Structure 1
Amino acid sequence: MSVPTGIAAAMKINFVMPPIASISGGPLAILEYANRFLEAGHVVSITTYPDTNWSGDNPYPWFKFKGELHYKRLRGLQLGPEQGLDLSKIDRSDLQRLSDAISITLGPSALRELVLSSSANVPNKMALSTVVDEALNWLYTMEVMPDCDINIATFWSTAFPVYFSGKGKPVFFMQHLEEVFYPIQNDLLLNKILARSAYSLPLFKIANSSWLRDQIKLRYGQNVPFSTNAIEIGDFNPRPKTSETDGVIRLVTYARPEDWKGFADAVAAVSQARSRLGGKLQWNVFGYKHPVLTEQNAYAPYVYHPKLSFAALADLYATSDIALCPSWYESFPLPPLEAMASGTATITTGAGTEDYAFDGDNAWVVGSRDTTAMADAICRLATDPSLRSKLATNGRKTAERYTWSRAASEREALLLDIHEGRIAYNPNQGISAGLADVNGIAFERAPLDITDHREGLYWNHGALFLFKDGVRHHVTEGDLIPLLIERGYGYVDVSDLDAIRIPAGRPICTPSDIH
C-alpha cells in the first residue's frame, strides 16, 4: 500500500452512509471521496444500514466502491403473520424480554413492529415511527462499524451512530443544511428536528461550500472549514449548439418535485419568458418527474428526458443555449457547474453557488424565487448571442478548476489536520445553550475567576479530569493518560472548590475524544 505524499502514515477512514438506490449529487460526491482516499493509500471502508433497508446485492448499485463494505445481514429475518404473533396483545411486562429476543433473531423490522404495536391505542404513530426506525438502524450500524482513525458522517441520520460509537474521530461531511429537506408537516417534523440536532453534535464539521460554512457560523457559532466538491470535467465539453442550424433557442433545467428545488418557479419564469419571446424557446427538462407540473402543464409545457445516461445528459447540456437552475437554496449544487462546463450560459440562484457563479462574469445570478428576474435573464440571453457566448466561455474556464484531484486533495488535508489535532475550532460549540452570565461567560464554561487556570490534567477525589475550554472532562481510562501528556497536557493545581464550580463537559473515554 502506498502512503500519500507528506503523510507519515495512512489513515483508517470509515464513511457511514445510508443506502442510496439511485444516483444523486451528494452521495456521488461522498463515494468519489471514498475511492480517491483509497487510491491515495488510506484504508477506506463504508458502513451502511442493515440489508433490510435496500434490495439487491449493493446498497449503491450505480457506483463501484473499491473498498470494504460493512453492514448487518438481516434480510430474511422478518417477523410476519406466519409467526402467528399478535404484537398488540403482548403484556408490557414482557416487552423487554421479547424485544431482546426479536432484535437478535428476527431483525429490526420485527422489533419496530413490536414497539409500534405495543402502543395500539395511539391513533397516529407515523411521525414517531421515525425515531424507532432510525434508532434501530443506528444500533445495527454501530454494531458492525470497524475501528478507524476518522469516522465520517455523511447525512444527518448517520451523525448519531458516528458520534455515539466512539470509534475514530467523529467528522461530518456536510452536504447541505439538511433540515430544509423537510417541510413543516406532522409526519416530517421529527425528521426536521433530528436533522437540526445532528448539527449540534460535537463533531468535526467540514462544509462543502462557503454558504454552508456561513450557515453553521450563524446558527451554531462554529467557524468550520469548507472545501468544495467537483465534477468529472472530462464528462462535459462544449459542442455546437443545435440553435445554430434551426434558430430555436433551447433552455435546459434539472427538475425535482421538492418545493425548495424551485421547479414551480422555473415553470412560472418560462411562462413569462415565452409570452415575450413567442415560439423561439424550446424547454428541455431532465431529472425527476413533477407529480403536478407535467410536461403538458397549462403554463409552460416542456420536453421531458427521463433516465438520461451521463453521455446523453452531457449532450443535452452542451447542445442547449441556456441552463436555468432555480433552487431556493443549495450547497454547492452540481447542475449549474455541469452546465458551465458544457459551454452553456447559465442562470442560477445565488444561495450555495457563491464559490463558482459570479453574476455578469460567468453566470447570470438571480434571487431565489424571483421569477421575473429569471424571465428577464432568459429573454436577454435568448436575444443576445454575444452575452451567451461570454458567459459560456467564462463558465467553462471556471468549471475547469473544479477537478476531483483538487477536491480530494483539499479534503484529505483537512482530515489530516483533524487526525493530528491541528484544528482551529471547538467542536463542542454547537451544543452551547447560548446563555451567558453577567461577565458574558457561557454558562457551560467556568466562571471568570477560574478561567486563568492553565489548561491541563488534575485529580479530584480519586478521579482524573482534563480542564480544557472552560469545562472539566472526566478521563475514564488510565490508558489515555500517556496520550494526553503526549498532546501537551500537563498537570495543574485545581482546588476542590474550583473543581466543583467548573461545569462538566463530555467524558474522555477513547482516543477519539481527545481534540
Structure 2
Amino acid sequence: MKITFILPRLSARPTGGGKIVYQYANALANIGHTVEVVHPRTLFLWGIRKTLPLKLLSLAADCARFAAVRLTRGRVSVPWMPMHPNVKISVVPALFPYFIPNADVVVASLWRTAEYVKHFPSSKGRKFYLVQHYETWSGPVHRVDRTLKSTMHKIVISSWLKLLVVGLSGDEVHQIPNPVDHDEFFVTTPVTNRQRVVGMLYSPHAWKGATDGVAALEQAKEEFPELKAILFGTSARPDFLPEWITYVRSPDRKTLRDEIYNVSSIYVCPSWSEGWGLPVLEAMACGCAIVSTDNGGTADFVVDGGNGIVVPPKRPRELGAALLSLLADDDRRTALATRSIGLAQRFTLEASVDKLLAALTDAPIAAKV
C-alpha cells in the first residue's frame, strides 16, 4: 500500500504529534509499505491573524516561503528522529494537489492540513484525519470544528477525543492509542532506589500548565527542602523558573530516559488539556509514579489511586498536595510506580500499527485498548 502522511512544516525540534507520525511511517515502511511524509513550507495561515497589518505581514512571509522553496522530495532528513531508509521525507512549497504524490491513502494530522486534504482529488488516496488534539488553541473554533465534521475518515488517539468527534460529526471513528517505544523507554534505575526527584515537561503554551506545575513544586519544596526537580522542553529556560530547579533543553533520548525519567520518582503533568500526553506514558514506562491533572488525554492510562493521583486542572494547590502525599509515603509511591510500568506495557507500537492498518484498509473498528 502507498501511504502519504501530511505534517505541518518540518520542525528542527521534537514535537509529540510529529513523533507519532514518524514512528508509524518507520513501522509501515519496515513491513513493506511505500510511505512518504510531506511537509509544506507554508500553510498560508495569514487569514487567522487578528489585525490587517499582521495579516499582510503574514501573507508576505507565506508568499516568500512558497516562492523560495524547491521541491526536495526524498532528500530531506528529520533532525531529531532516525527514519527508516525507505521513508521519503518531502518538503513542498504548499499543500496544493500538484505537489502531493498519488497514493492509496493520505493522512492529515493537523486541522490546517485537514483543510487541504479534504479537497484533494481521489488520485491522492482515500482521505483520513489523524486527530491528536482539539486544536482550538491554534486555530478558530469554527474552522477546527469544520475539519472534524468533514467526510474524511477519522482516527482519534484517546477516549475523550472520540466522544468529541462523534458528537460533532455523528460519524463512527477509529480509536488508536498512541504507543510508547519500549526499546527506547524502560526502567534503568529500580523504582525503590530513587530519591525525592520530580520530573516535568515545560512548554510555553499556557494550557500546558507550567506555572501551575512550578507552583506545586515550590509548595512541595517547603515541606521537603531536599526535593529536586528536573524540567525539560524545547524552549529556552523560562525566566520564572527557580534556581533550584534543573532545566534540560532538548534532551536526546538517552538523556531523557536515563537522566530525567529514571532519576525521577514522580512525574507531574499539570496540563489543562491534553490530546494524549505521551511524555506521561514514557515516564510510566521508565518507572515513575504519576501526579496529573484530569486533562482528558491521560485518563486513558493514568488511574487515580492505581498508578497515580489525579486532580482537577488549574488548581496548583491541589497538585502540590498530591505531590506532598507521595513524597511523604515512599511505599505508596513505589507501589504506584510499579503499576505504571505494567500499564505502560499495554501500549506498544506493534499493537497500534495493527489497528492503524485495520483502519486504513477499512477493516472493522477494533476494540480500544
Q: TM-score, normalised by structure 2?
A: 0.82
Residue-by-residue CA offset, 1:207-253 (whole Å, 9 max, x unaligned): 011111111123333332211011111222224369958xx511111
Whether 2:141 is the aligned partner of 1:195: answer no
Whether 2:157 is the aligned partner of 1:208: answer yes
Report the alpha carbon displacement of residue 339 of structure 1 after superposing the two structures with TM. 1.1
Q: 1:217 aligns with which of 162, 166, 175?
A: 166
Helix, strand or coil for the counterpart of 2:362?
helix
What is the CA–CA distance in structure 2 between the aligned matches of 1:177 and 1:193, rounded to whole Å?
12
Residue 274 of structure 1: aligned partner: 221
Quick one: which amino acid aligns to residue 5 of structure 2? Answer: F
Residue 58 of structure 1: aligned partner: 76
Residue 227 of structure 1: aligned partner: 176
Whether 2:268 is the aligned partner of 1:319: answer no
1:60-99 paired onto structure 2 within 5 Å: 60-63=78-81, 64-65=83-84, 66-72=86-92
Q: 2:118 aligns with which of 159, 163, 178?
A: 163
Residues 244, 152 of structure 1: alpha-carbon distance in 2 compared, 3 angstrom cutoff: closer
Residue 258 of structure 1: aligned partner: 205
- Given that 1:239 and 1:319 are in contact with CA atoms closer than 8 Å, whether structure 2 keeps it comes out as no
Residue 122 of structure 1: aligned partner: none
Whether 2:247 is the aligned partner of 1:304: answer yes
Q: Which runs of 5 or more residues in structure 1 are unaligned? A: 1-10, 75-136, 183-189, 425-515
Residue 53 of structure 2: aligned partner: none
Report the alpha carbon displacement of residue 71 of structure 1 after superposing the two structures with TM. 4.2
- Given that 1:21 and 1:59 are in contact with CA atoms closer than 8 Å, whether structure 2 keeps it comes out as no
Q: 2:108 aligns with which of 153, 157, 162?
A: 153
- Given that 2:236 and 2:249 are in contact with CA atoms closer than 8 Å, whether structure 1 keeps it comes out as no
Report the alpha carbon displacement of residue 175 of structure 1 after superposing the two structures with TM. 1.0
Report the alpha carbon displacement of residue 270 of structure 1 after superposing the two structures with TM. 1.7
What is the CA–CA distance in structure 1 between the aligned matches of 2:88 and 2:228, rounded to whole Å?
46
What is the CA–CA distance in structure 2 between the aligned matches of 1:28 and 1:224, rounded to whole Å?
22
Whether 2:279 is the aligned partner of 1:335: answer yes
- Given that 1:241 and 1:319 are in contact with CA atoms closer than 8 Å, whether structure 2 keeps it comes out as no
**For structure 1, which segment, 218-227 or 307-316, has the greater mean C-alpha deviation from structure 2 after superposition?**
218-227
Report the alpha carbon displacement of residue 22 of structure 1 after superposing the two structures with TM. 1.4
What is the CA–CA distance in structure 1 between the aligned matches of 2:197 and 2:38, rounded to whole Å?
43
Residues 343, 210 of structure 1: alpha-carbon distance in 2 compared, 3 angstrom cutoff: same
Residues 322, 71 of structure 1: alpha-carbon distance in 2 compared, 3 angstrom cutoff: closer
1:108-507 paired onto structure 2 within 5 Å: 137-139=94-96, 142-166=97-121, 167-179=124-136, 181-182=137-138, 191-240=140-189, 244=193, 249-275=196-222, 277-289=223-235, 293-296=239-242, 301-315=244-258, 316-350=260-294, 351-417=296-362
What is the CA–CA distance in structure 2 between the aligned matches of 1:409 and 1:243, rounded to whole Å?
35
- Given that 2:237 and 2:247 are in contact with CA atoms closer than 8 Å, whether structure 1 keeps it comes out as no
- Given that 2:7 and 2:113 are in contact with CA atoms closer than 8 Å, whether structure 1 keeps it comes out as yes
- Given that 1:268 and 1:371 are in contact with CA atoms closer than 8 Å, whether structure 2 keeps it comes out as yes
Residue 5 of structure 1: aligned partner: none
What is the CA–CA distance in structure 2 between the aligned matches of 1:36 and 1:223, rounded to whole Å?
26
- Given that 2:191 and 2:334 are in contact with CA atoms closer than 8 Å, whether structure 1 keeps it comes out as no
Helix, strand or coil for the counterpart of 2:302?
coil
Q: 2:20 aligns with which of 29, 40, 43?
A: 29
Quick one: which amino acid aligns to residue 356 of structure 2? Answer: R
**For structure 1, which segment, 351-360 or 388-397, has the greater mean C-alpha deviation from structure 2 after superposition?**
351-360
Aligned residues with identical type, % of pairs: 29
Q: Which runs of 5 or more residues in structure 2 are unaligned? A: 43-64
What is the CA–CA distance in structure 1 between the aligned matches of 2:253 and 2:90, rounded to whole Å?
29
**For structure 1, which segment, 330-339 or 39-48, has the greater mean C-alpha deviation from structure 2 after superposition?**
39-48
What is the CA–CA distance in structure 1 between the aligned matches of 2:191 and 2:342, rounded to whole Å?
22
Residues 168, 232 of structure 1: alpha-carbon distance in 2 compared, 3 angstrom cutoff: same
What is the CA–CA distance in structure 2 between the aligned matches of 1:287 and 1:371, rounded to whole Å?
20
Helix, strand or coil for the counterpart of 2:257?
helix
What is the CA–CA distance in structure 2 between the aligned matches of 1:402 and 1:390, rounded to whole Å?
20
Quick one: which amino acid aligns to residue 27 of structure 2? Answer: R
**For structure 1, which segment, 316-325 or 288-297, has the greater mean C-alpha deviation from structure 2 after superposition?**
288-297
Helix, strand or coil for the counterpart of 1:62?
coil
Residue 60 of structure 2: aligned partner: none
Report the alpha carbon displacement of residue 380 of structure 1 after superposing the two structures with TM. 0.9
RMSD: 2.6
Residue 114 of structure 1: aligned partner: none
Q: TM-score, normalised by structure 1?
A: 0.60
Report the alpha carbon displacement of residue 36 of structure 1 after superposing the two structures with TM. 1.3
Paired residues in the alignment total: 332
Residues 403, 69 of structure 1: alpha-carbon distance in 2 compared, 3 angstrom cutoff: same
The structure number with the bigger radius of gyration is: 1
Residue-by-residue CA offset, 1:368-418 (whole Å, 9 max, x unaligned): 122222111111110111111111111001111211111111111111116
| Larger RCO: 1 or 2 (CA < 8 Å, sep 6+) | 2
Residues 214, 274 of structure 1: alpha-carbon distance in 2 compared, 3 angstrom cutoff: same
- Given that 2:13 and 2:250 are in contact with CA atoms closer than 8 Å, whether structure 1 keeps it comes out as no
What is the CA–CA distance in structure 2 between the aligned matches of 1:239 and 1:355, rounded to whole Å?
25
